[in-house]
Amino acid sequence: VDHGAKVINLSLGGGGTLDPAFSDAITYAQSKEVIVVVAAGNGDAAGNGVDNDQTPTYPCNFTQSNLICVAAVDQAFELASFSNYGATSVDVGAPGTNILSTVAGASQTTDFSNWNRTSTTSTGWGFGSVALTASDGTKINVPATANPTNYGTGTYAANTDDRTWANFTFSPAPQLASLSFLLTGAITSGDFFNTSVIANNQDPFSAGGINLQHLDKVTGALTPPTSALPVDQCAAATCTIGFELRTDASGNDTGPLIALLTLDTVAQNTNAMGLLNGTSMATPIVSGITALLIASKPTATPDQIIQAIETSGTPAPTLTGKTTSGRVVSAMNALAKINLGIAPIANINLTAGVSQSVPVPISGLDALSLNATSSNTAVLPNTGITGQTTCTGP
């Protein structure tokens, strides 16, 4: 803000309580007439959009007037299934699916079908899909691996050492990497569930990989480790990620389930491109339109810019009741809106069957479509008014 920014794009957000410092930053931007465009958010763990009016997401749910919150729509201008929404908190929609974008580095996911698996007993790891339940009760199937193979109806074996692992190869070799996955389940105190990583394609638990334990020793629930897994070893271009369940004879439990595993990287000199989905993709489109309007009419106030964007978009039924405007943004319409000027004209009495010119002074448009209507529809229906609309002047 202090360096002259007029538009700030925030393709970020999260739940929780209102952060006063964050809110103060938005207010400071407002005092400098800076417009802040923010993402509505990308739904719950199952990928289904949630109502921000009921479950606040910040900065979208901040209420400052210089803020525009953006939902994502698909190619049919329908609200994307993953996009958050809110009749009072989310303002407009913008394209946010299948957006071709540069990426910092390659990203890989897995369905776990090609993973190596070993077991010292007859049970071990299985793979398939699991149904996750969204906040609205709908279910979505995602790839997963679990131990035991009948996870949910059975329990894992005692006195077993079950391992599963797979290697991931990147070209060019990345400088940074991050691993994310969904973990659920429980194990008995005295048993161990470990995640490990090592360079090259090998069993990380036998080859000296770095292991991290996931266990709440009080409840037995599986939890994030206390330190970060050193996936920077993937900078060797090929690395192996693995999971291990090691148990004793004292008992058994539900076991671990892992789903939605993704390995993201950052690489130098990469020309990686990808099709991305998200409200983070939709938000920059609105930021770009905002900058376009400011450049087109520098004297316009932030309120005028925002009003032009929110009222000139294309109506979208799936955004009605889900956003404050019910519209998908339109750059051309917003430009026309911010530059349009119409001088008032007095009422004119016309004689039926007699041609008469009615000048309408309009500025800010290169093309004009003019509709004439009659106040006396009983005598002269609207359909009876015919004529030609023309533009004169520069």
Q: For the chain (length 394 residues), average pLDDT per consecutive 10?
A: 96 89 96 98 87 95 97 96 96 96 85 93 88 68 92 91 91 80 87 88 85 67 72 75 90 88 83 88 98 96 96 96 97 91 65 68 54 53 47 44
pLDDT in tens, 326-363: 999 999 999 999 987 666 666 767 676 677 666 666 65
- CATH class held by domain 107-271: mainly beta
Q: How many CA atoms lie within 13 A of 178 on its CB side?
A: 5
Domain made up of 7-102+275-339: CATH architecture: 3-Layer(aba) Sandwich (3.40)
How confident is the model at residue 392, as a pLDDT? 47
Residue ranges covered by each domain of the chain: 7-102+275-339, 107-271, 346-394
Q: How far apart are CA 307 and CA 305, in angstroms?
A: 5
Q: Are 145 and 164 in contact (CB under 8 A)?
A: yes
pTM listed for this prediction: 0.63
pLDDT one-digit tens code per residue, 261-302:
988 888 877 787 888 999 999 999 999 999 999 999 999 999
